[in-house]
Amino acid sequence: MEEPKTIYLKDYKPAEFIVDRVDLTFDIKDNQTKVTSILNIHKNFDIADKNTSLVFDKGDFEISSVIANGMLLLPEEYESGGGYFKLARTPDIFDLEIISILKPEENTSLEGLYKSGDIFCTQCEAQGFRKITPFPDRPDIMAVYSCTIIADKTQYPVLLSNGNLVDSGDLDNNRHFVRWEDPFKKPSYLFALVAGDLEHIHDQFTTKSGRNVDLKIYSERENIDKCYHAMKSLKQAMEWDEKRFGLEYDLDLYQIVAINDFNAGAMENKGLNIFNSKYVLANPETATDEDFLNIQGVIGHEYFHNWTGNRVTLKNWFQLSLKEGLTVFRDQEFSSDLNSRGVKRISCVRNLRGSQFPEDAGPMTHPVRPDSYIKMDNFYTMTVYEKGSELIRMIHQLIGEKKFRKAIDLYFEKFDGMAVTIEDFIGVMEEAGGLDLNQFKLWYFQSGTPTVKVERSYNPDLKQLAITFEQHIAPDRNQSKKKPLHIPVKFAIIDNKGNDITPESKSLLELTSGRQTFVFGNIPENSLPSLFRQFSAPVKIKTDFTNEELAFLMANDPDEFNRWDAAQTLFVNELKRIITAIQADKELSVSPNLIKAFKKALLNQHTDHAFLAKALSLPMETEIKNHFDLVDVHAIHRGRLFLKQQIAKQLKQHFMDLIDYCSKSDPLSLSHGAMADRSLKNLSLSYLGCLKETDTTQLVLRHYATAKNMTDEIAAFKILSEIHPDIKQTAVKNFYSKWQHDKLVLDKWFAVQAGSSLPNTLNIVKSLIKHPDFSIKNPNKVRSLIYMFAMQNHINFHQKNGDGYRFIADQIIALDKINHQIAARLSSCFNQMKRYDNARKIIIKKELERILCVPTLSKNVYEIVSRALE
């Protein structure tokens, strides 16, 4: 295989030909869609001259005719193939009409125009528009689009595209047409089309300036009653963006379509969002509390893109975080304002530490603004999204909400309708924030997670507390020498009663050099610093707190995030001790102080139950492994189970009481209190379930049988799937017979089985691949079964004989023939290989080399696998 080409930011050049208008016609027939594209083009004389030839991006499809300025070109007058469409000579200003023949029914990549079930739909981000028609498929080409769709009226009664409906009517042979016009200039990646027999729900929103917006959410007929939560979330998002950012919607129509086959979560196409049905459909019987919150978050995310992404877009794909980091920040703020801020922050940080930190320490490490890529699709990463959002959060922290809002206003004042860069964004933050972000910028350009080591020294005579911070970033493939970063540390010193004794005005420390000491006077003995409150910077924090101090912080730190974090550090310390004992073949024990701290938290009736459920959850095996340089798969599994069982055993009655206490709320209510009660109840049940005693197993079975909502049902099912193969199998059968008609619930059914730590799981996963409800063409199914096994089932994926690795490599190879993006995602499960022992490393290496030998391997998988082998 020829080595794929790397694209570099430093090679960026403005386009030589600009497209101002795009008029598309889709003539949809069985097995063939004819696309007519009429483009108004002018040469960009800033960089082109009269001899510059036109080169457009073009996918692998047939062109049936080309007309330039009304003249039909002969096939030898243009070149088509190898990813390009080329015209050697063109006038300076001209119209180009190209007719292309597509076969969406055969398109399994789910990129460009494809079919999901009986529905035609598109996904153009990042570079899918070129699979529809030859085009300068880059985000800095912004044009006005119109789109006419022609199809059979019975099979495809609903025909949608971006913008406003301007015409429609009947044609011969039971066919009809619809014409859409989008008045806003947009890049090609925001184009969308949907055609199908869809049902919809309708609502309205009046913006603060009085525009009446029609809101429509479409789904397959059988799911239409599951769209109301999404609609409610959309209205919440519209209202929130007006209140918090002063941003109003700009069209008269906002449409969302739920699709079953979708590579990502959702897509912000102008006026016509296309969603993975997982982020639209919900009712309490079929969706968990987490699903409900995720839907709210993703609906918000795509809506917020209308300004951050669509109105102001990207100059090139290297700037992806300009829209994604900022929009993730906005959706996190939305969720925090509408639900519990502290609990939301904990989930985000857990996600960041659990997935982004490892990514940044592995072969795929890249700056938030990458310098190069082979396939852009591989850079829709935790780093671009989640770390990108953390960078915005730090700027917000540094300049404060008021100035941040002013800066965002300025951003739109300056750049509305334009394609810009991260530097442009930082520029307005500096201008409106009145500060110098020169050093801060490094966060965007340097990869890797900084480690910040904190040391304290107290002088009792002077009553002085000195805190020394040392920051360090390990060199990696991107930079061999790292410069110190500008790190905001939100902090306070708390006395031995848990009160802040430093003033709020001095609550932000700013680290700017490798090592810095801050001295605080008038500090009583036994005071403690509370550091990085609300996780004020995306760093690994190494403190010198004793377990007693951590227990104190866990109970008393006024900062909720830090109470949770202290509990997690306590757990990790305890787990490390237990795991070391396992490795040394010593007798195992749990320290009484940990149980005491746990019990104290458990009995504190005043705590928010959602927070308590987070604070008392043990880190998962996949999280625990991040605390070791060399991962011992079995010791981690045994150690975690031992700790969990000991806690459960010693606090059994308390968990029982808590379950009763938390069972009182309405099982169908989605109030914060009801959801919080369920999370604490189900956490207690999972502690008890892991004891595998007759009475505790009976209790879980009873909860499973009487569950009135999916949150409780799936929680009990998961616990049962860990107890015993027979118990699991009975639940598996029962769950299937109840839910076999519901695709999204079946995804959960596959996921629970793929996640079970019981020994025979790999064989079960292998047989589930052949299950009639599984399809390797459906990304949700692949994520539930295969990806779940590889990424979450630590003990079974990493089994010593390498069978887990071989199985996943086989799946990557099979999947790559169908869907490059999803195959590449799955390939990243080997990115952590350097943390495992030599025997495992050798097997992984062999499997990666086997993948690399596939002659038809996609660029997507090549990029991930070749980096892993570097």
Q: How far is the CB of 316 from ligand ARG (least distance, A)?
A: 15
Strand partners, 34: 27, 101
Given Zn ion, ligand ARG, none, residue 797, with its beta carbon under 5 to 8 Å by kind, binds none
Given ligand ARG, Zn ion, none, residue 377, with its beta carbon under 5 to 8 Å by kind, binds ligand ARG
Given Zn ion, ligand ARG, none, residue 380, with its beta carbon under 5 to 8 Å by kind, binds ligand ARG
Of the listed pieces 259-267, 484-492, 512-520, 847-855, which binds ligand ARG according to CB under 6 A?
Answer: 259-267
Given Zn ion, ligand ARG, none, residue 559, with its beta carbon under 5 to 8 Å by kind, binds none
Burial class (CB in 10 A: 0-12, 13-18, 19+), 602: buried
Q: Is the peptide bond before 126 cis (omega within 30 degrees of 0)?
A: yes
Q: How far is the CB of 395 from ligand ARG (least distance, A)?
A: 20
124 touches ligand ARG by CB under 6 A: no
Residue 601 has φ and ψ, to the nearest 5°, of -65, -40
Q: Could you give the string, one character per residue 378-397, with x where binding to ligand ARG holds by CB under 6 A and - elsewhere? A: --x-----------------
**Member of 26, 33, 68, 125 binding ligand ARG (CB under 6 A):** 125
Residue closest to ligand ARG when measured from CB atoms: 264
655 touches ligand ARG by CB under 6 A: no
Pick the closer one to Zn ion by CB: 421 or 562. Answer: 421
377 touches ligand ARG by CB under 6 A: yes
Closest CA to 466 of 511, 526, 533, 523: 523
Tell me how far apart the alpha carbons of residues 108 and 122 are, in angstroms, rounded to a whole number: 12
Tokens (6 digits) for 865: 């696998």
Q: How far is the CB of 519 from ligand ARG (least distance, A)?
A: 45
Pick the closer one to Zn ion by CB: 182 or 324. Answer: 324
Q: Using CA of residue 777, residue 782, residue 783, residue 787, what is the dihedral sign? A: negative
Pick the closer one to ligand ARG by CB: 123 or 753. Answer: 123
Tell me how far apart the alpha carbons of residues 94 and 418 are, in angstroms, rounded to a whole number: 23
Q: Is the peptide bond before 581 cis (omega within 30 degrees of 0)?
A: no
Residue 302 annotated in active site? yes
126 touches ligand ARG by CB under 6 A: yes
Looking at 302, 324, 430, 722, which residue is catalytic?
Answer: 302
Pick the closer one to Zn ion by CB: 419 or 643. Answer: 419
Length of the chain: 870
**Would you say 186 and 143 are in contact if contact means Cβ atoms under 8 Å apart?**
yes
Pick the closer one to Zn ion by CB: 110 or 264. Answer: 264
Q: How far is the CB of 111 from ligand ARG (least distance, A)?
A: 7
DSSP state of 268: -
Q: How far is the CB of 414 from ligand ARG (least distance, A)?
A: 23
**Residue environment code for 531-558, b if the CB has 16+ CB neighbours within 10 A, otherwise e:** bbbbbbbbbebebebebebbbbbbebbe
267 touches ligand ARG by CB under 6 A: yes
How many residues bind ligand ARG (CB under 6 A)? The answer is: 12
Q: Which residues contact 263 (CB under 8 A, 6 or more apart)?
A: 110, 111, 123, 779, 819, 821, 822
Q: How far is the CB of 266 from ligand ARG (least distance, A)?
A: 5
Given Zn ion, ligand ARG, none, residue 267, with its beta carbon under 5 to 8 Å by kind, binds ligand ARG
Through-space distance between the first and last CA atoms of the chain, rounded to whole angstroms: 17
Given ligand ARG, Zn ion, none, residue 264, with its beta carbon under 5 to 8 Å by kind, binds ligand ARG
230 touches ligand ARG by CB under 6 A: no
Q: How far is the CB of 379 from ligand ARG (least distance, A)?
A: 9
Q: How far is the CB of 863 from ligand ARG (least distance, A)?
A: 13
Q: How far is the CB of 278 from Zn ion (least distance, A)?
A: 16
**Would you say 111 and 263 are in contact if contact means Cβ atoms under 8 Å apart?**
yes
| Packed helices 652-662 and 633-650: angle between N→C axes, nearest 10 degrees | 80
Pick the closer one to Zn ion by CB: 193 or 322. Answer: 322
Pick the closer one to Zn ion by CB: 366 or 533. Answer: 366
360 touches ligand ARG by CB under 6 A: no
Pick the closer one to Zn ion by CB: 373 or 797. Answer: 373
Pick the closer one to ligand ARG by CB: 187 or 358. Answer: 187
Of the listed pieces 152-160, 264-272, 449-457, 768-776, which binds ligand ARG according to CB under 6 A?
Answer: 264-272
Which residue's structure tokens are 């539930």? 784
**Would you say 86 and 53 are in contact if contact means Cβ atoms under 8 Å apart?**
yes
Tokens (6 digits) for 746: 């079946």
Given ligand ARG, Zn ion, none, residue 126, with its beta carbon under 5 to 8 Å by kind, binds ligand ARG
**Residue environment code for 4-38, b if the CB has 16+ CB neighbours within 10 A, otherwise e:** eeebeeeeeeebbbbbeebbbbbbbeeeebebbbb
Pick the closer one to ligand ARG by CB: 240 or 379. Answer: 379
Tokens (6 digits) for 278: 């997982």
Report the site for ligand ARG in 275-304 (rule: CB under 6 A): 301-302
Q: How far is the CB of 325 from ligand ARG (least distance, A)?
A: 11
What does the angle CA 36 – CA 54 – CA 133 come to, to the nearest 5 degrees? 25
**Would you say 369 and 422 are in contact if contact means Cβ atoms under 8 Å apart?**
yes
> Residues interacting with Zn ion, by CB under 5 A?
324, 327
Assign 404 to helix, strand or coil: helix
Tell me how far apart the alpha carbons of residues 224 and 216 are, in angstroms, rounded to a whole number: 11
623 touches ligand ARG by CB under 6 A: no
Given ligand ARG, Zn ion, none, residue 125, with its beta carbon under 5 to 8 Å by kind, binds ligand ARG
Assign 464 to helix, strand or coil: strand
Pick the closer one to ligand ARG by CB: 186 or 728. Answer: 186
| Strand boundaries in 536-625, DSSP class E | 540-542
Task: Please give the order of strands across the beta sheet that includes 78-81.
Answer: 54-57, 84-87, 78-81
261 touches ligand ARG by CB under 6 A: no
Closest CA to 184 of 32, 362, 284, 306: 306
Strand partners, 206: 212
Query: How many beta carbons lie within 10 A of that of residue 701, not counting itself?
Result: 18
Pick the closer one to ligand ARG by CB: 126 or 769. Answer: 126
DSSP state of 387: I
266 touches ligand ARG by CB under 6 A: yes
Tell me how far apart the alpha carbons of residues 388 and 311 are, in angstroms, rounded to a whole number: 20
* CA R_g for the chain: 28
Pick the closer one to ligand ARG by CB: 125 or 565. Answer: 125
258 touches ligand ARG by CB under 6 A: no
Q: How far is the CB of 127 from ligand ARG (least distance, A)?
A: 8
Report the site for ligand ARG in 306-335 (rule: CB under 6 A): 324
Of the listed pieces 210-218, 258-266, 460-468, 696-704, which binds ligand ARG according to CB under 6 A?
Answer: 258-266
Tell me how far apart the alpha carbons of residues 813 and 540 are, in angstroms, rounded to a whole number: 36
Q: How far is the CB of 218 from ligand ARG (least distance, A)?
A: 18
What are the distances in angstroms from CA 296 to CA 339, 674, 745? 10, 17, 19
Tokens (6 digits) for 9: 């930011």
Q: How far is the CB of 377 from ligand ARG (least distance, A)?
A: 4
Tell me how far apart the alpha carbons of residues 423 and 760 are, in angstroms, rounded to a whole number: 52
Q: Please give the positions annotated as active site.
A: 302
* Interaction site with ligand ARG (CB under 6 A): 125-126, 263-264, 266-268, 301-302, 324, 377, 380
